[in-house]
């Protein structure tokens, strides 16, 4: 008696099909599980056997062999329990349909428990032509995020057996467009209006949000660097469906999706501690899991106290900052995780935090140099906007008033984003920060006067060709924010001010 059902495993952020084959034949009574299985998959035989017994099925005292194919690919996780049970049930009752898929973990009492990674598996199921997927009932909401597949939630093995016995009673759930187009949940906790003054910082935040420019905030302690960064998500444009699926996929395999929010609605904001390890940042483990940089994809990766991070951790961010993805190589091969995050960093200019206020800073130039040198040149090269956050005189009347609110700022950002989408409609990129050499030449053309100013700036700041390109990209975003067709001298001057940090802090002292 042979029977085969479908299931799906996860590798990296992608699902892959696994067929679960069961065979019940004459021989000494046993239950054998094969197919290059990780420890937790091998243990499934005990779970499945006991769960089936407790759900009221008697396993015949015969030789039961279960194979998970393709047998050459390592399988991990507890999501195969339900499929194994279904395959064995199929052998016994011959009641299951072959192109249905089963995903879920079993408890000893026969209950079906939720597993991570539902989204990529259901996605892979659709690609494989599977029309109906049985999932743990807690995971149904996540499963319905994929269009074109019927999702059937099951609470326990007995319910599954009932449904399989009477397929006409199956009432699955489907993808709902409303669910997919939900607005991001507003965060009532933070708003830019709490931040007094700081027009330059606001402007830099808007530019970073609109053009996807990596941002560095430098300034003394307590001036509002962290406050500004935490409010940055409130002015980002909402995620579109494609982005939401990408983000949700990463969160799904980490088991971070909730029933309430089966598809991520707001852009992620990740703020790893500065003691974080390279593995936690890039992703890792035996069956590699996404790291912080991938969890921040399509959102913000905030690095507070940048200079306190281990230099190794910062340097591994170079690849994602450039490519939008990160490759993690482990024993079982290399995996690519999405890592298209906006990097926002904040740091003090020196150990005591007061430099360049020489009346208060007591660091020696060598100390300052040592502190700053923890951040490497190549990392800085990938920062587009560096903004100096000043210590403000809080006795000033104007600073007691509320600042501009996030809603107003977000309006400007969204208008700038729309302009960019229109501009890049045929090019395959969507924002100024991702412009290549050719696009810069096409979309950042300057007038004669502007060209002259740019040359003067480049000479003054000793900018390389790459620095010049970055400056142009940022001025393009500033012009978009100002709703100007062409880049003007004002925008160039502003972009230059956002660029000067590198020469000032990391150049010749």
Partner 1 sequence: MTGERTQEERQEERKREYSRRERFFAYWLSRIEGVGAKRAGKLYEYAGSFEAIYHMDETKLTALSFLGEKTGRAIAAARGQLEQRRVEFEGLDRLGISLLLAGEAAYPRRLENIYDMPVWLFVKGRLPAGDRPCAAVVGARSCSPYGRQEAEYIGRLLAEHGVQVISGMALGVDQAAHRGALAAGGDTFAVLGCGPDLCYPRASRDIYEALSGRGGILSEYGPGEPPLAPHFPVRNRLISGLSDLVIVVEARKKSGSLITADLALEQGREVCALPGRRIDPLSAGCNRLIRQGAAIVTEPEDILDFFHIKCKNSIKSKEKSGNTLAKTEKMVYSCLDSQPRHTEELMARSGLGAGECLLALHQLELRGLALQPANQYYVRKLE
Minimum CB distance to partner 1, residue 345 (Å): 15
Q: In 3-state terms, what secondary structure has residue 495?
A: helix
**Beta-ladder partners of 113:** 105
Which residue in 17, 136, 197, 262 binds partner 1 (CB under 8 A)?
A: 197
Please identify, using beta-carbon distances, which residue of 15 and 386 lies nearer to partner 1.
386
Cα 161 from Cα 152, distance rounded (Å): 13
Minimum CB distance to partner 1, residue 381 (Å): 17
493 binds partner 1 per the rule CB under 8 A? yes
According to DSSP, the β-strands at 325-330 and 333-338 are antiparallel
Answer for the pair 217, 225: CB distance below 8 angstroms, yes or no: yes
Which residue in 56, 222, 255, 365 binds partner 1 (CB under 8 A)?
A: 365
Cα 316 from Cα 304, distance rounded (Å): 17
Restricting to residues 379-438, which ones interact with partner 1 according to CB under 8 A? 386, 388, 390, 392, 398
DSSP state of 237: P
Cα 55 from Cα 109, distance rounded (Å): 7
Which residue in 34, 108, 456, 486 binds partner 1 (CB under 8 A)?
A: 456
Q: Which two tokens stand for residue 235?
A: 């002015």
Minimum CB distance to partner 1, residue 212 (Å): 21
Identify the CA nearest to 304 among candidates 183, 429, 178, 389: 389
364 binds partner 1 per the rule CB under 8 A? yes
196 binds partner 1 per the rule CB under 8 A? no
Q: Which stretch binds partner 1 (CB under 8 A): 90-98, 234-242, 464-472, 492-500?
A: 492-500
Cis preceding-peptide flag for 70 (omega within 30 of 0): yes
Q: Which stretch binds partner 1 (CB under 8 A): 63-71, 272-280, 340-348, 490-498?
A: 490-498
Q: Which two tokens stand for residue 111?
A: 């209950």
282 binds partner 1 per the rule CB under 8 A? no
Q: Residue 271 CB: number of other CB atoms within 10 A?
A: 16
Q: Which two tokens stand for residue 341?
A: 């995050």
Which residue in 453, 454, 472, 474 binds partner 1 (CB under 8 A)?
A: 453
Q: Which stretch binds partner 1 (CB under 8 A): 51-59, 136-144, 339-347, 351-359?
A: 351-359
191 binds partner 1 per the rule CB under 8 A? no
213 binds partner 1 per the rule CB under 8 A? no
Please identify, using beta-carbon distances, which residue of 156 and 494 lies nearer to partner 1.
494
**Beta-ladder partners of 290:** 283
Please identify, using beta-carbon distances, which residue of 162 and 357 lies nearer to partner 1.
357
The dihedral built from the CA positions of residue 412, 418, 424 and 429, taken in this order, carries a sign that is positive
Residue 287's alpha-carbon distances to 117, 329, 338, in angstroms, are 13, 10, 16
**Beta-ladder partners of 301:** 270, 343
Pattern 216-235, partner 1, x by CB under 8 A: --x-----------------
Interface contacts to partner 1, rule CB under 8 A = 197-200, 203, 218, 355-356, 358-366, 386, 388, 390, 392, 398, 453, 456-457, 460, 478, 488-491, 493-494, 496-497, 500-501, 504-505, 509
């Amino acid at each position: 008696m042979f029977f085969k059902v479908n299931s799906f495993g996860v590798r990296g952020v992608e699902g892959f099909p696994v067929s679960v084959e069961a065979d019940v034949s004459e021989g000494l009574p046993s239950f054998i599980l094969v197919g290059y299985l990780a420890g937790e998959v091998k243990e499934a035989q005990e779970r499945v056997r006991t769960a089936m017994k407790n759900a009221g099925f008697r396993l015949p005292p015969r030789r039961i062999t279960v194979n998970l194919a393709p047998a050459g690919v390592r399988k991990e996780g507890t999501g195969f329990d339900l499929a194994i049970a279904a395959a064995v049930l199929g052998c016994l009752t011959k009641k299951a349909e072959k192109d249905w898929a089963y995903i879920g973990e079993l408890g000893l009492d026969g209950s079906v428990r939720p597993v991570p990674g539902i989204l990529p598996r259901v996605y892979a199921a659709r690609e494989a032509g599977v029309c109906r997927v049985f999932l743990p009932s807690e995971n149904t909401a996540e499963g319905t995020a994929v269009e074109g597949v019927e999702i059937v939630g099951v609470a326990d093995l007995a319910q599954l057996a009932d449904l399989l016995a009477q397929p006409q009673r199956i009432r699955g759930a489907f993808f709902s467009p409303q669910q997919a187009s939900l607005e991001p949940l507003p965060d009532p906790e933070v708003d830019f209006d709490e931040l007094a003054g700081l027009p330059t910082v606001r402007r830099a935040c808007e530019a970073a949000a609109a053009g996807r420019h990596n941002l560095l905030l430098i300034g003394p302690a307590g001036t509002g660097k962290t406050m500004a960064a935490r409010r940055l998500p409130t002015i980002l444009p909402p995620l579109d469906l494609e982005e939401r699926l990408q983000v949700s996929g990463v969160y799904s395999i980490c088991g971070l999706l909730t029933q309430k929010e089966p598809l991520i609605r707001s852009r992620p904001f990740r703020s790893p501690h500065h003691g974080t390890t390279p593995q936690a940042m890039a992703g890792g483990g035996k069956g590699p899991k996404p790291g912080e940089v991938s969890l921040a994809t399509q959102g913000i990766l905030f690095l507070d106290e940048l200079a306190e991070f281990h230099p190794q951790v910062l340097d591994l961010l170079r690849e994602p900052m450039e490519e939008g993805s990160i490759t993690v190589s482990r024993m079982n091969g290399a995996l690519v995780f999405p890592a298209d995050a906006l990097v926002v960093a904040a740091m003090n200019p020196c150990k005591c935090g007061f430099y360049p206020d020489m009346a208060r800073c007591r660091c020696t130039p060598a100390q300052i140099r040592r502190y700053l040198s923890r951040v490497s040149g190549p990392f800085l090269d990938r920062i587009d906007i560096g903004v100096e956050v000043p210590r403000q005189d809080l006795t000033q009347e104007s600073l007691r008033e509320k600042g501009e609110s996030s809603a107003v700022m977000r309006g400007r950002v969204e208008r700038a984003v729309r302009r960019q989408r229109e501009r890049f409609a045929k090019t395959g990129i969507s924002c100024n920060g991702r412009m290549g050499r050719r696009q810069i030449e096409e979309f950042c053309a300057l007038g004669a006067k502007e060209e002259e100013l740019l040359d003067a700036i480049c000479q003054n700041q000793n900018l390389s060709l790459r620095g010049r390109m970055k400056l142009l990209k940022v001025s393009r975003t500033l012009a978009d924010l100002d709703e100007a067709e062409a880049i003007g001298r004002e925008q160039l001057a502003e972009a230059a001010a956002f660029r000067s940090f590198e020469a000032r802090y990391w150049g010749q002292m």
